[in-house]
Structure 1
Amino acid sequence: MSSSSPFRMQLVHLDLKGAPPKVLYLAEIFPLFHALGANGILIEYEDMFPYEGPLHLLKARHAYSPSEIKEILHLAKLHDLEVIPLVQTFGHMEVYYLGEGEMSKQWLQQEQNNMVKLCLSQMKAVASHVLIHHPNVKPIVWDDMLRGISEECLTESGIAQLVEPMIWDYIEDMDVHGKVLLMDKYRKCGFPKLWVASAFKGATGVNQSLTIISHHLKNNIQWLKVADSGPAEMLQGIVLTGWQRYDHFSVLCELLPVGIPSLAVCLQALKHGGYTDHVKKIVEQYLGMSDLEINSFMSESSGTFPGSDVFTLITQVSFHLRRSVDELLERNRYVTGWFSPYHRKRKMIHPVMIQHIQPDAVSLLTRWNAVIQELQAALERIFYPDAVEEWLEENTHPTIQKLQQLLQDLDAAIAAQS
């Protein structure tokens, strides 16, 4: 690790609750993670863990097998990546409804009990259970519920002896001074160690398909400023989160291969203490790209990194599919003038106009079907069928169906005239 980095640990977060990669792909990208400057991975197993017994119902249809979990851990060790499992517990799950259960309501009615104590008592119970059974493990908790609790309450609770908080913020204009003050608050409360979390993807839009590299670079640069101003002796490391869904019921956001260029930029910026032309060239060498553009989605080179074909094809689809179909349906004078919704409903079309519409529509559909088939094959190499189906249904099918419907209506109008 470069001496420029204030972070002893730089971990890449893998969010497996959406589009979990096949182990084959993890074997390809773990070496890249290491080369780029990561020395750990935070694995959010979610329903991909091979639960057994009473918990087996939690498993996803394509959950990793026990042997695949061992292979993932082996691959991580092989490439000097420390593994930290992320397990959903009280600290970061369903906390908005704190105190609404019947037992909680009864507990809160007792004198001197309140929501803060309820929160801390549960966190202490979970952390104590972990430490009793695994004395060498120190639980890390997202600091959502801690940051608003007073110094006095945190200190008196004794939670500081049980867990290490992870302060997170994914915005590009993050309040550096505010984060330094928060770190100092935790120090005063007795927490010996702290973690921070930035993002390299999955934090700029619930249905985002392409990663805004400049946003994530600015966010990570802000965290460098926090680290330079905060208590260095407390800082354990930084996790670059890569969210795949905002929650289990939301759509997929940027797929992992699409976020790899952003991850490379952010890891190297953290490693070198900033993003310069020299760092840009290093990133381009690792990615196999001749010119990486961080301020727009388009780059002249698609790259040779694992999953670069997915990155290229998704960029192509995201930029041009809807635009090209809308161009035909909404701005082509022959479609808007001679085959409008009024004409289509009544199966009316001037025979001469058929040749001005049909060839272009067929050609466009044929071209995009070929691209989507290529993308589907690329996705299937990395992801399981349900993730491929979901991404294509969300991002390609609605637009393709509009084009198909135009041709079907055209066929119906032609048939009505014969």
Structure 2
Amino acid sequence: MSCSSLFKMRLVHLDLKGAPPKVSYLSEVFPLFHALGANGLLIEYEDMFPYEGHLKVLRAKYAYSPAEVAEILRLARLSQLEVIPLVQTFGHMEFVLKHAAFAHLREVALFPNTLNPHEAESLAVVKAMIDQILELHRGAQWLHMGCDEVYFLGEGETSKQWLQQEQNSQAKLCLSHIRAVASHVLAQHPGTTPLVWDDMLRDIPQDQLKASGVPQMVEPVLWDYGADLDVYCKVLLMEKYQECGFQRLWAASAFKGATGASQALTPVEHHIRNHMQWLQVADSGPVDILQGIILTGWQRYDHFSVLCELLPVGIPSLAACLQLLVHGGFTEHVKLKVESFLGVTSLEMMDAVSEGAGSFPGSDIHALITQISLHLRSSVDALLERNRYVTGWFSPYHRRRKLIHPVMIQHIQPEALSLLSRWSTLVQQLEVALQLAFYPDTIEEWLEENVHPSMQRLQGLVQDLGEAADHQPLPTSPGWDTGQDP
């Protein structure tokens, strides 16, 4: 089975609300994406877009310039990758609603994720964002409007009053906002079709969905990142959407960023299974309704959460998933092709920093992060919590008082210094590699979350050892010196 008949479009999702890659790194990975079977990109700019005017406050410190956006689009064209921009317009609006200038547009005051759909200014802000994005993406065939996970919708005071009217419902509230945003796209940017995530539509009764007019305006993206997604239920959902009047549907899988908010390493097998399930859905569902599949690569679960796997770490998973889609399965032959593309001897997690760790862009980052994620914390824990000389003769009690048996310094210090030297060297190598792909704030955040806690514990032990060695108080009896005069 070839995927070409199932998913005409295969888009790689770039989630820029965390660890946005430098343009120079994108120039290296776009040709690889194309070679692996991708023919499009879904770019979720969030705060990396160079908004102007009253929206300028939304820009992140290292936001792309208009020239850099133009260069990204040029690079995408060179690699025959169709670009679909994504701008959130309902839920996941934290990057807008966290700012004081827009905080009054929250549906619920303490929850900056969801936009209040009753405020005229809410729609005006959304329209302005869309217009600025499409101004730099002229000719875009699609615009993704987001609209997923609109939490607390209907719980604002205005919504509560509105919902008291008998004919109103939360579903109607949701659909009316989607319709208003989609109407603007279709009226002001003819030729551009709006996409929406489908989770807010799934439970809306069929007759209500059909009567809303939304099926004639947008194309839903059915998303499920599970390794054991329910194929039968997905097919039923596709049939429901088709009966409601949607002409085109999209699927959304995940190649990274969907197995834990603080996940550092990508579980490739999970994502392979997810894509195998989506192949079954596509093969079993209504014929010729699926426009394509978006391979999502989430970088944060939301604007305020920690970073999950960095893009270079997820590339082996992406390669496996794209090739699986292209060939209609993941046979041993496909696995060998993926390993050849990546320049690795095995697709299994690369647990070594060596010459053979890969030849794909960012393979050094992948190898170093793998090494650090698997072994840094465990090696420090082993020394501080399970080394019998440390636990027996240099416990927290001893360390606070700078007390140690002189002989024990010889048992502890060489190993501690060796471990510190080894990890300091690897961390320095990672910093150098990260600087070629990412901006300073990304590097700072990743190291502070994943490296500094263990390194500080190790450095603290070494420092305490040195200070204790300078004191070396001698025991006067079975216990330590009490400090009393003889």
Q: Which residue of 1 aligns with 2:209?
A: 154
Q: Which residue of 2 aligns with 1:373?
A: 428
| Corresponding letter in the other structure for 1:238 | I
Q: Which residue of 2 aligns with 1:192?
A: 247
Percent identity reads: 69
**Contact 2:2–2:325 (8 Å) recurs in 1:** no
Match 2:300 to one of 245, 250, 259: 245
SS at match of 1:51: coil
Q: Which moved more, 1:106-115 or 1:301-310?
A: 106-115
Unaligned runs of 5+ in 1: none
Q: Which residue of 2 aligns with 1:24?
A: 24
TM-score (norm 1): 0.97
**Contact 2:37–2:323 (8 Å) recurs in 1:** yes
SS at match of 2:453: helix
> CA 1:3–1:336 in 2, change beyond 3 Å: closer, same or farther?
closer
Q: Which residue of 1 aligns with 2:120?
A: none
Mapped pair 1:321 → 2:376: yes
1:162 deviates by 0.5
| Corresponding letter in the other structure for 2:296 | T
Higher Cα Rg: structure 1 or 2?
2
Mapped pair 1:386 → 2:430: no
**Contact 2:368–2:430 (8 Å) recurs in 1:** yes
**Contact 1:92–1:144 (8 Å) recurs in 2:** no
In 1, Cα distance between equivalents of 2:368 and 2:3: 38
Mapped pair 1:46 → 2:55: no
In 1, Cα distance between equivalents of 2:283 and 2:171: 32
In 2, Cα distance between equivalents of 1:270 and 1:334: 54
Match 1:401 to one of 438, 447, 456: 456
In 2, Cα distance between equivalents of 1:15 and 1:380: 19
| Corresponding letter in the other structure for 2:392 | G
1:87 deviates by 0.5
**Contact 2:42–2:294 (8 Å) recurs in 1:** yes
Q: Which moved more, 1:363-372 or 1:93-102?
A: 93-102
Q: Which residue of 1 aligns with 2:70?
A: 70
Structure showing greater relative contact order (alpha-carbon pairs closer than 8 Å, 6 or more residues apart): 1
| Corresponding letter in the other structure for 1:22 | K
SS at match of 2:221: strand
Q: How many residue pairs align between the two structures? A: 416
> CA 1:163–1:92 in 2, change beyond 3 Å: closer, same or farther?
farther
SS at match of 1:139: strand
Which consecutive aligned stretches of 4+ in structure 1 deviate over 6 angstroms post-superposition? none
Q: Which residue of 1 aligns with 2:322?
A: 267
**Contact 1:91–1:142 (8 Å) recurs in 2:** no
In 1, Cα distance between equivalents of 2:320 and 2:287: 24
> CA 1:297–1:213 in 2, change beyond 3 Å: closer, same or farther?
farther
**Contact 2:91–2:151 (8 Å) recurs in 1:** no
**CA offset digits 1:73-98 (Å, max 9, x no partner):** 00011111000001001266522121
1:298 deviates by 3.8
**Contact 2:45–2:87 (8 Å) recurs in 1:** yes
Mapped pair 1:221 → 2:276: yes
| Corresponding letter in the other structure for 1:89 | T
Q: Which residue of 1 aligns with 2:6?
A: 6
**Contact 1:212–1:297 (8 Å) recurs in 2:** no
**Contact 1:201–1:262 (8 Å) recurs in 2:** yes
The CA RMSD measured in Å over matched residues stands at 1.5
Q: Which residue of 1 aligns with 2:134?
A: none
| Corresponding letter in the other structure for 1:163 | V
Unaligned runs of 5+ in 2: 94-113, 115-149, 474-486
In 2, Cα distance between equivalents of 1:297 and 1:144: 36
